[in-house]
Amino acid sequence: MVWNFQDSYTKLPSIFYSKVNPENFSNKKLVLFNGDLARELNLDFSKYDDHEKCNILLGKNKLDKNYFSQAYAGHQFGNFTILGDGRAVIIGEHITNNKKRVDIQLKGSGQTPYSRNGDGKAALGPMIREYILSEAMHNLGISSTRALAVITTGENVLRDKLEPGAILIRVAKSHIRVGTFQFGSLLKNREEFQNFISYTISRIYPEIDNNNNDKYLKFYETICDLQIKLVIDWMRVGFIHGVMNTDNMSLSGETIDYGPAAYLDEYNPKKVFSSIDKMGRYSFENQSKITLWNLARFAETFLHLIDSNEKTAIKKIEDILNRYKKLFDQSWLTMMSMKLNLDTNNNNEEIVKEFLDLMHIYKLDYTNTFLDLENNTLDKKIFKNWEEKYKNNKLRKFKNVNPQIIPRNHIIEEIINEVYSNNYGQLYDFEKILKNPYEKKENKKYITPPLESEKVFETFCGT
């Protein structure tokens, strides 16, 4: 047996999930397999050929056949909706040798009771995108769901055009999200929701004492902390999530759902890639505000447990959120100071702002401009005055905070187009190169910003 499944979610009241049978596909092919992650999870596939690997990865050898999709709700672009996994099925919770529990989830294996009008499928392009982006995120040292494999199903799915269908095998500490709590808070049976919260705490944050009355506030603060760290890290590497709906905010603090996600090329704080984000709600600079907005929606779901007096409960949450807003601004400045190699004990607000403004005005590349600073190759025409101020403040040696390489949009698009013409070479090269994103790269192609003609202006959810 490869898996060590010990499921806990299916022991919860059945309102929280639905049992689902993933579809069978006869013409499967293993396109991507993450050997490093398999080893981390103590999964030994060495005895199996690709065909058997596919079947195991899809959970075909699971004895109890207990596969399930999760129920949840969410604020999508500010509007509350009941959702649930429309195209995702958890085949089991795998326990690693050192007792870590992870969800093993198939994304794109067919319809579920929550599919609404969707086909429950996924196209190969977006699944390759998620594999590359989520693994790059992890390798950048930023918390993320992981990608264990991509398997093509052998059938086509209809999007704007027909595309090859595929399944991503996603690994996460848990898939419980703000939206799961929003769903739970609607239940008539309050006790069921309270038990669900206890389940979540003991599953994701076992260090919080579940028997203590202050556990709700501790839990809330832990999640605020992790989310803020996460978004600061996104901003450090120029990442735009693109759909920060409450159903896409994981309570384990992992980046989840890479639909229209993309990295900045040229710096523009208002940048949006997602084709459906017409108002710029989830733009690069808005990510901090939206995080706090989502955290407020999260708190609303269990206010009654924080204090029986609603006003007192609201005050407690407001105090925390105000504190976190301040912390966010401070942490952002510290992070930016580190990117510029400045002493974080000083107030660097002005020098940071001026640097960003110059980048913005001159449409400079976010990743490479920080590297130019490291390499002393900044454009003197632009930065002469700024460098005058900088030279008195800078520290000696840069820490490893500025990535040498990010998965740029135009490269991902090119790779997907090549895969669609049956050419996998560049995909495998790029996957390897992204394993060490802080190491200096010689390969000019992947570190050069796109030419005007290569730029990708819009990304799609790929649904």
The Cα–Cα gap between 119 and 127 comes to 15
**Are 204 and 174 a contacting pair, CB within 8 Å?**
yes
Choice between 176 and 306, CB closer to Mg ion: 176
Structure tokens at 436: 């060490």
CB 451 to ligand AMP: min, Å: 31
DSSP letter at 121 equals B
Stretch that binds Mg ion, among 145-153, 225-233, 240-248, 336-344 (CB under 5 A): 240-248
Task: Check binding of 257 to Mg ion (CB under 5 A).
Answer: yes
Choice between 247 and 265, CB closer to ligand AMP: 247
Structure tokens at 364: 């400079």
Stretch that binds Mg ion, among 250-258, 285-293, 304-312, 418-426 (CB under 5 A): 250-258
Mark residue 14 as left, alpha or beta (left: phi above 0; alpha: psi -120 to 50; beta: remaining).
alpha
Stretch that binds Mg ion, among 120-128, 151-159, 256-264, 282-290 (CB under 5 A): 256-264
Choice between 403 and 462, CB closer to Mg ion: 462
The H or E element containing residue 79 is strand 79-82
CB 279 to ligand AMP: min, Å: 17
Structure tokens at 89: 């099925």
At CB < 8 A and 24+ separation, what contacts does 135-138 make?
135/34, 135/431, 135/434, 136/406, 136/407, 136/434, 136/437, 137/239, 137/255
> How many angstroms separate the Cα of 92 from the Cα of each of 65, 85, 95, 140?
9, 15, 10, 28
Contacts with ligand AMP, residue ranges (CB under 6 A) = 83-88, 114-115, 118-121, 243, 247-248, 257, 259, 461, 463
Which does residue 413 touch among Mg ion, ligand AMP, none (CB within 5 to 8 A, set by kind)?
none
The Cα–Cα gap between 314 and 354 comes to 38
Stretch that binds Mg ion, among 114-122, 195-203, 243-251, 444-452 (CB under 5 A): 243-251
Site string (317-336) toward Mg ion, x via CB under 5 A = --------------------
Choice between 163 and 257, CB closer to Mg ion: 257
CB 108 to Mg ion: min, Å: 13
CB 213 to ligand AMP: min, Å: 34
Choice between 92 and 120, CB closer to ligand AMP: 120
Task: Check binding of 163 to Mg ion (CB under 5 A).
Answer: no
Residue of 85, 233, 247, 365 marked active site: 247
Which does residue 86 touch among ligand AMP, Mg ion, none (CB within 5 to 8 A, set by kind)?
ligand AMP
CB 289 to Mg ion: min, Å: 20
CB 248 to Mg ion: min, Å: 5
User: Any idea what the Cα angle at residue 300 is, between residues 299 and 306, rounded to 5°?
Assistant: 65
Choice between 244 and 352, CB closer to ligand AMP: 244
Choice between 85 and 277, CB closer to ligand AMP: 85
CB 458 to ligand AMP: min, Å: 16
Instruction: Among 69, 70, 180, 248, indicate the residue that binds Mg ion (CB under 5 A).
Output: 248
> How many angstroms separate the Cα of 51 from the Cα of each of 56, 64, 297, 457?
9, 22, 45, 38
Task: Check binding of 369 to Mg ion (CB under 5 A).
Answer: no
At CB < 8 A and 24+ separation, what contacts does 394-397 make?
394/340, 394/341, 394/342, 395/341, 395/342, 395/343, 397/341
Cα-flanking dihedrals φ and ψ of residue 200, to 5°?
-60, -45
The Cα–Cα gap between 237 and 370 comes to 10
The Cα–Cα gap between 29 and 152 comes to 5
> How many angstroms separate the Cα of 191 from the Cα of each of 14, 146, 184, 187, 205?
14, 33, 10, 9, 20
Task: Mark whether 247 is an active-site residue.
Answer: yes
- DSSP codes joined into one string, 168-232: EEEEES---BHHHHHHHTT-S-HHHHHHHHHHHHHHH-TTS-TTSTTHHHHHHHHHHHHHHHHHH
CB 180 to ligand AMP: min, Å: 12
Which does residue 135 touch among Mg ion, ligand AMP, none (CB within 5 to 8 A, set by kind)?
none
Choice between 72 and 263, CB closer to ligand AMP: 72
Residues that bind Mg ion (CB under 5 A): 248, 257
- Residue numbers annotated as active site: 247
